[in-house]
Amino acid sequence: MTSSIGSQLSAVADGPPGRARTHRRLRFALVLLASIAVAAAMALAPKIYNASAAGFGAFSEFDGADCNVTVPGSWPSNSQLPDPFTTIDGSQVTTKDQWECRRAEIKALAERTIYGEKPGAPSSVSGTVSSSSITVNVSDGGASASFSASVQLPSGSGPFPAVIVYGGFGADTNTILSTGTAVISYDPNAVGAEGTSRNNKQGAFYSLYGGSSSTGILMAQAWGVSRIIDVIEQSDGSILNNYTGVTGCSRYGKGAFVAGAFDQRVDLTMPIESGTGGAPALRSIAQEGGSQPLDSAYGEQPWLGDAFGSYTGNPGGLPVDTHEIVGMVAPRGLFIMENPHVEWLGAQSGAVAALGGAEVYKALGVEDNISYHSNVSDGTHCATRSEWQAPLTQSIQAFLHDNGNGPGVINMHSSKTGNLAQWRSWTTPTLADGPGETTPPDDETTPPDDETTPPDEETTPPDEETTPPPTGDGCTAVIEVASDWGSGWQGNVLITAGSSSISGWTLTWSWPSGQQISSSWNVDVTSSGANVTASDVGWNGAIAGGATQNAWGFIGSGSATTPAVTCTAR
């Protein structure tokens, strides 16, 4: 095998498409804002895709500019994944608005040790957006540079959202176009060129900031994505609207991952088979046999910042890891796709990072906004895969068209499952609303007696209206419709143990009208006509007595339905 699967791909692409943003993005909002201010902010930023549950307001390229972040000169080594919710000074993040400045800390630490610095907004960005191309002209510090990208519009009338596709390799462009979304073809090498030495980097970024800049080309290319977004925002909005996604595969998957994490105006990030230097956890990569070693990824191309060279043999010395870069994308849409059949790509470490980053989404109350899928049958690198089509379509609809919810799919291949428990000693908080108080003062939460607690008979429905768990050794199960986008839907399966704990379960049901499961996760499932049989996969079989577990999920075809389910316990 060559030193990098990604090196088999030539860097092809010319230019993206564009359109202007007419409103600002969602950012963390203080819940103490007056209701009239909240209403005004929502009018300016209607794009909320479940972020309202997490208490978010408008996004800019980077929302942490007002945070007082001081990166220390040293930090303790840690063989496990660092705690995303512990700040540099050792305090705990307890509220959603505190996460904004914790995110700023993670950004600063990642720039210092992994990627190199992403400069702030240049002094001047200009350009044009047409139905076939975008031009970008940038000036900063007395230097200037230009690049362009091509645009492909879908059928119908715009303005359209757009997905920036790195190097011509990313999520299936036919699927993207079929959702009414434009494709911007971006040549990242025009901004940060491969095949250059670390002390003589080339491309538009380095024309401005110097070929000896310590910033790696992944961050330089991400800077280029941000400048494309700048030009789209400045346009008149007649061709492209204010929703933007980014995708890429292999080396371009690394780039898409970094671009989405470091620009909060990117609504949907879709890295594919990104390998070492992309989504996979760096600490885990060092222990995953067959995956590209850290020093190999560092030496193959100047993808990563110069400072990362000090950590290739000691990833435990890093103050951050990629699960926290995943967390930087929250609460925005993220769909990580991986190939478990090519060892070099480190899919198991990708699963570890996705599971760790999903804990940030969970803490913010937006679990549906992150998806991970490696359970595919075709091992061809950067292939178009049928297993990804439904969650890809649903993600684009949710985050670029404000239509429905994200898939919320975690579907790991059985040979490349991640075990987050092995990699963490921290726990996940439920972040509260507000500027720092998890529990408001009693006089604010407890109104006078005559306004608060109604009689018991009003707050507790009669027994016959509730569904108690089964008694004895047994279980019950229900299917809930998590999201429905017309041509398909996502079902989550909730299993409740009886008064005694169970060690495993088997479910059976019959579809009423031609539905079927097109993909599933965390389950062994077989279908025969309308009849379905599903069993646990070991680790998710045990359920404590009286407890309910969101045990597994699936993508279904046809109309959404919730048939009666029979649960047999073991």
CATH number of the structural domain spanning residue 343 = 3.40.50.1820
pLDDT at 485: 57
Summarised one tens digit per residue, pLDDT across range 326-355 is: 999 999 999 999 999 999 999 999 999 999
Torsion of CA 506, 512, 513, 518, to 10 degrees: -10
Residues 43 and 113 both lie in one domain: yes
Residues 75 and 212 both lie in one domain: yes
pLDDT at 552: 81
- Which residue, 291, 269, 402, is CA-closest to 342? 291
146 pLDDT tier (thresholds 50, 70, 90): very high
Is residue 44 one of the residues assigned to a domain?
A: yes
Single out the residue in 361, 393, 423 at which a domain terminates. Answer: 423
CB-based contact 507:533 (threshold 8 Å): yes
Highest mean pLDDT pick, 328-342, 443-457, 513-527: 328-342
Q: How far apart are CA 315 and CA 320, in angstroms?
A: 9
Q: How far apart are CA 350 and CA 363, in angstroms?
A: 20
Residues known to be catalytic:
250, 381
Mean pLDDT of the chain: 84
Residues 323 and 234 both lie in one domain: yes
Single out the residue in 423, 442, 457 at which a domain terminates. Answer: 423
pLDDT, mean of residues 455-467: 39
pLDDT at 47: 45
**120 pairs with which residues across the strands?**
none
Q: How far apart are CA 301 and CA 309, in angstroms?
A: 12
pLDDT at 448: 36
Q: How far is CA 352 from the centre of its chain?
A: 14
Residue 52 in this model has a pLDDT that exceeds 80 = no
Is residue 152 one of the residues assigned to a domain?
A: yes
pLDDT at 100: 94
Residue 13 in this model has a pLDDT that exceeds 50 = no
Residues 414 and 479 both lie in one domain: no
Amino acid at 229: I
Segment among 166-175, 410-419, 444-453, 466-475 with least mean pLDDT: 444-453
Amino acid at 387: E
Instruction: Show Cβ contacts of residue 464 under 8 Å, excluding neighbours closer than 6 positions.
Output: none
Summarised one tens digit per residue, pLDDT across range 210-232 is: 999 999 999 999 999 999 999 99
Please give the residue range of the domain that contains residue 172: 5-423
Residues 187 and 331 both lie in one domain: yes
Summarised one tens digit per residue, pLDDT across range 243-296 is: 999 999 999 999 999 999 999 999 999 999 999 999 999 999 999 999 999 999
Q: How far apart are CA 216 and CA 390, in angstroms?
A: 34
435 pLDDT tier (thresholds 50, 70, 90): low
Percent of the chain scored above 90 by pLDDT?
71
Amino acid at 24: R
Q: Which residue has the tokens 């699967």?
A: 5
Residues 53 and 113 both lie in one domain: yes
Residues 408 and 511 both lie in one domain: no
Residue 440 in this model has a pLDDT that exceeds 70 = no
pLDDT at 59: 62
pLDDT at 531: 93
Is residue 146 one of the residues assigned to a domain?
A: yes
Is residue 551 one of the residues assigned to a domain?
A: yes
Summarised one tens digit per residue, pLDDT across range 532-556 is: 999 998 867 889 888 898 888 787 8
Q: How far apart are CA 263 and CA 227, in angstroms?
A: 10
Number of domains the chain is built from: 2
pLDDT, mean of residues 193-207: 97
DSSP string, 255-277: HHHHHHHS-TT--EEEEES--TT
Q: How far is CA 69 from CA 57, 109, 366, in A?
A: 21, 10, 26
The greatest distance separating any two alpha carbons of the chain, rounded to the nearest whole angstrom, comes to 77
Q: What is the DSSP pairing of strand 516-521 with strand 548-557?
A: antiparallel
pLDDT at 17: 31
pLDDT at 394: 97
pLDDT at 553: 77
Instruction: Show Cβ contacts of residue 144 under 8 Å, excluding neighbours closer than 6 positions.
Output: 137, 138, 207, 208
Q: How far apart are CA 47 and CA 25, in angstroms?
A: 7
CB-based contact 309:325 (threshold 8 Å): no
Residue 57 in this model has a pLDDT that exceeds 50 = no
Is residue 445 one of the residues assigned to a domain?
A: no
Task: Output 119-123 pairs: Cβ under 8 A, ≥24 positions apart.
Answer: 119/209, 119/223, 121/61, 121/230, 122/208, 122/227
Is residue 440 one of the residues assigned to a domain?
A: no
Q: How far apart are CA 500 and CA 471, in angstroms?
A: 8
Which H or E element spans position 136? strand 133-140
523 pLDDT tier (thresholds 50, 70, 90): confident
pLDDT, mean of residues 27-41: 34
Is residue 155 one of the residues assigned to a domain?
A: yes
pTM above threshold 0.85? no
Q: How far is CA 525 from CA 1, 508, 519, 552, 562, in A?
A: 35, 10, 10, 11, 17
Is residue 449 one of the residues assigned to a domain?
A: no
Q: How far is CA 366 from the centre of its chain?
A: 11
Percent of the chain scored above 70 by pLDDT?
81
Residues 310 and 205 both lie in one domain: yes
Residues 312 and 209 both lie in one domain: yes
pLDDT, mean of residues 177-204: 97
- Which residue, 172, 178, 174, 147, is CA-closest to 160? 178
